[in-house]
């Protein structure tokens, strides 16, 4: 168990925008930040982070919370794991009691796989640095590749002994279960026997975006023709190779800062680039590039530069990956290295300045690259040139943004010396063909030509007025409950001439939460929503006891369901920031401009609504009990008179 003082220190120190910024590219939007949702596929931002409130909200999935809940949602951490992650990030030493054997046994399968993978990582590094075989074979190999001791430790490189059961037996002796060793793929089980999958290989641990070990890549160092040169962990509960990028854990901050990601093919390409000084680089780990991997990068940047070696055949085979990047709406450039060079060798033989200069001068827009590559292949053959142009237009057709498509068509026309009209016509044909094939998958019902189809009337969603008003009261209390405001009020005074009681406007100074509480008490108004009711009394109690009320601290003390509700309420107004209204000279009025007005308007609206409901109840009662209708009608008249007075007040408040 983690001590409460440690948890409190973590919550006090952690900044939600910094934590989420490690996983999502955030851009300033007013007083908040916005970005693409990490929980759904989207091209327009619907993810908001509020540094002031220290909470986040994803409007596409409905999820929200604080820094801890983000890690629990995004990284599937347990609560203690999220606290430990934040403690490590902010260099906070946490007090923790040792877990019992029973608590260890209760860990779920997923956590057990992580624990096994973490142990393996420690073991392989220990073998590399502390055994004769590890130093003679594994460490020598890494140093021959030009990796420094610092780089080897940074990337947690290791070595698996060239023995059939060395790792597995060691893990079993430490109490790790064979089923979890097998589930991670570290151990191969055949009947009653077990073997090390990565026997005799140098080890490259593959991290999640948050730094957890998901799997491994292992390179064999012998000339065994029967064994694969590189071997990856098999798919498991925690490792899905099409959803992972090697080096992303080390590159994420640099990618967001540089607003560009270099994409290479191998582990050593990534490591050598980092050692040279370029850290915004990742690898697809030898697997075919997938849409999920592109979306991982797209959370951090909308720009990818693909780096190829000088092998023309390899470049040609990789063009499909470029099309896939375009299809995801990401900008893509391509840079090739001289013949016989790859990212690893080129960065090793050049300084940081030389490498940066080469990348800057040789990174071409995808259309320039594809055109130059395919034109060489066409070799002045008109038929091949026509095929080349069609292939380029096919790539342009994949781009979801219409403006970008048009610009690329113009660029293609210039490079290939062909009419824009012809290219636009070809693009239209491709789009038409695609839409027709899509419609074949979902054929429309038979419909006669020019038949007028009557639109089905849309069912309007009935608004629960009381729910919305109670929700608004919770929002006001959370945002402004501790503020002191001047409220317009009325005081009854006796007229000296007539002796009648008259209403006289007056000003009353009060804290917002006190005003709300007293007004609701005066009319004996009760919350109908149980969750809002519980939150209301909890907030009032906290505001009454704590003069330094903090939204962040209050949310952190709630259970997950209540915290999610509060987050949703508080972040609702952040929708304004998603639309960049201010850029279009539309400036939504800030609530802080008129807090007293907002409070009065909400309370009066709730009163009017409750009167409407009371009148409706009386009407139903008259229908059931005609004998007592006169007295009921008198009550109805009184209520309607009261509502008229309240409506006048409400009109004054709104006006």
- 628 has a pLDDT exceeding 80: no
pTM of the model: 0.65
For residues 556 and 542, is the Cβ–Cβ distance under 8 A? no
**Where exactly are the structural domains of the chain?**
4-89, 107-239, 248-436, 465-557+589-607
- DSSP-based three-state secondary structure for 121: helix
4-89 CATH, one of 3.90.580.10, 3.40.50.300, 3.40.190.10, 3.40.120.10: 3.90.580.10
pLDDT in tens, 41-85: 777 888 999 888 888 988 888 888 899 889 888 877 778 888 888
Altogether, the residues listed in the chain come to a count of 655
Residue closest to 301 by CA, chosen among 257, 249, 366, 363: 257
Q: What local confidence, expressed as pLDDT, does residue 649 receive?
A: 62
Q: What local confidence, expressed as pLDDT, does residue 100 receive?
A: 59
Residue 247, by phi and psi: left (phi above 0), alpha (psi -120 to 50) or beta? left
Q: What local confidence, expressed as pLDDT, does residue 451 receive?
A: 40
- As a whole number, mean pLDDT of residues 76-96 equals 84
Band (97; pLDDT cuts 50, 70, 90): low
pLDDT in tens, 513-533: 888 888 887 766 778 888 888
- 505 has a pLDDT exceeding 80: no
- 432 has a pLDDT exceeding 90: no
107-239 CATH, one of 3.90.980.10, 3.30.70.360, 3.90.1150.10, 3.40.630.10: 3.90.980.10
248-436 CATH, one of 1.10.10.60, 3.40.1360.10, 3.50.50.60, 3.30.565.10: 3.40.1360.10
- As a whole number, mean pLDDT of residues 439-463 equals 48
Distance CA 200, CA 133 (A): 10
The more confidently predicted of residues 126 and 111 is 126
The answer to whether the 107-239 and 248-436 domains have the same CATH topology is no
pLDDT in tens, 342-363: 899 999 999 999 999 999 999 9
- DSSP-based three-state secondary structure for 465: helix
Q: What local confidence, expressed as pLDDT, does residue 151 receive?
A: 97
The separation between CA 469 and the C-alpha centre of its own chain, rounded to angstroms, equals 30
Band (234; pLDDT cuts 50, 70, 90): very high
pLDDT in tens, 183-221: 999 999 998 899 999 999 999 999 998 889 999 999 999
Q: What local confidence, expressed as pLDDT, does residue 308 receive?
A: 84
Residue 573 is given by DSSP the state G
- DSSP-based three-state secondary structure for 100: coil
């Amino acid at each position: 168990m983690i001590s409460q003082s440690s948890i409190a220190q973590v919550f006090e120190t952690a900044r939600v925008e910094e934590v989420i910024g490690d996983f999502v590219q955030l851009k300033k939007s007013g007083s908040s930040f916005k970005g693409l949702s990490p929980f759904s596929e989207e091209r327009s931002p619907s993810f908001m982070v509020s540094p002031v409130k220290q909470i986040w909200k994803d409007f596409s999935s409905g999820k929200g919370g604080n820094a801890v809940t983000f890690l629990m949602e995004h990284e599937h951490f347990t609560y203690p794991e999220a606290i430990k992650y934040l403690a490590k990030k902010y260099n906070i030493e946490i007090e923790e009691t040792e877990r019992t054997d029973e608590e260890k046994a209760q860990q779920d399968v997923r956590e057990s796989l992580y624990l096994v993978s973490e142990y393996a990582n420690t073991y392989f590094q220990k073998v590399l640095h502390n055994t004769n075989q590890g130093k003679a074979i594994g460490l020598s190999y890494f140093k021959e590749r030009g990796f420094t001791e610092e780089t080897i430790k940074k990337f947690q490189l290791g070595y698996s002994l060239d023995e059939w059961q060395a790792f597995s037996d060691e893990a079993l002796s430490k109490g790790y279960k064979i089923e979890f060793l097998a589930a991670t793929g570290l151990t191969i089980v055949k009947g009653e026997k077990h073997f090390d999958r990565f026997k005799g290989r140098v080890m490259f641990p593959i991290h999640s975006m948050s730094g957890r070990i998901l799997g491994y890549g292992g390179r064999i160092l012998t000339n065994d023709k029967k064994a694969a040169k590189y071997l990856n962990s098999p798919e498991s509960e925690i490792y899905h190779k099409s959803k992972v990028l090697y080096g992303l854990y080390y590159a994420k901050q640099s990618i967001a800062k540089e607003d560009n990601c270099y994409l290479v093919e191998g582990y050593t390409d990534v490591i050598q680039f980092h050692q040279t000084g370029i850290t915004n680089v990742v690898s697809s780990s030898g697997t075919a590039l997938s849409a999920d991997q592109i979306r991982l990068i797209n959370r951090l940047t909308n720009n990818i530069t693909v780096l190829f070696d000088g092998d023309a055949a390899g470049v040609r085979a990789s063009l499909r990956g470029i099309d896939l990047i375009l299809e995801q709406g990401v900008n893509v450039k391509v840079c090739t290295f001289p013949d016989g060079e790859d990212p690893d060798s080129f960065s090793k033989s050049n300084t940081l300045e030389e490498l940066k200069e080469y990348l800057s001068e040789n990174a071409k827009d995808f259309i320039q690259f594809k055109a130059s590559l395919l034109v060489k292949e066409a070799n002045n053959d008109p038929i091949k040139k026509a095929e080349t142009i069609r292939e380029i237009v096919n790539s342009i057709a994949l781009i979801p943004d219409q403006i970008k498509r048009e610009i690329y068509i113009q660029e293609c026309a210039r490079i290939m010396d062909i009419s824009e009209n012809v290219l636009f016509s070809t693009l239209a044909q491709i789009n038409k063909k695609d839409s027709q094939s899509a419609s074949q998958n979902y054929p429309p019902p038979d419909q006669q030509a020019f038949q007028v189809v009557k639109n089905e009337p849309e069912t309007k969603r009935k608004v629960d007025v009381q729910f919305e008003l109670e929700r608004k009261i919770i929002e006001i209390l959370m945002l402004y409950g501790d503020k002191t405001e001047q409220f317009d009020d009325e005081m009854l005074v006796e007229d000296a001439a007539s002796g009648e009681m008259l209403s006289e406007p007056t000003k009353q100074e009060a804290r917002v939460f006190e005003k709300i509480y007293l007004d609701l008490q005066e009319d004996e108004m009760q919350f109908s929503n149980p969750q809002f009711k519980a939150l209301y009394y909890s907030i009032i109690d906290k505001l009454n006891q704590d003069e330094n009320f903090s939204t962040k601290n209050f949310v952190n003390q709630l259970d997950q369901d209540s915290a999610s509700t509060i987050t949703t309420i508080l972040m609702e107004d952040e929708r304004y920031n998603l639309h960049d209204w201010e850029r279009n000279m539309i400036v939504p009025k800030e609530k802080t401009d008129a807090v007293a007005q907002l409070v009065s308007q909400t309370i009066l609206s709730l009163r009017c609504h409750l009167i409407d409901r009371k009148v409706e109840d009386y009407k139903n009662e008259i229908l059931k009990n005609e004998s007592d209708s006169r007295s009921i009608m008198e009550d109805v008249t009184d209520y309607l008179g009261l509502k008229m007075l309240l409506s006048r007040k409400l009109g004054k408040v709104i006006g």
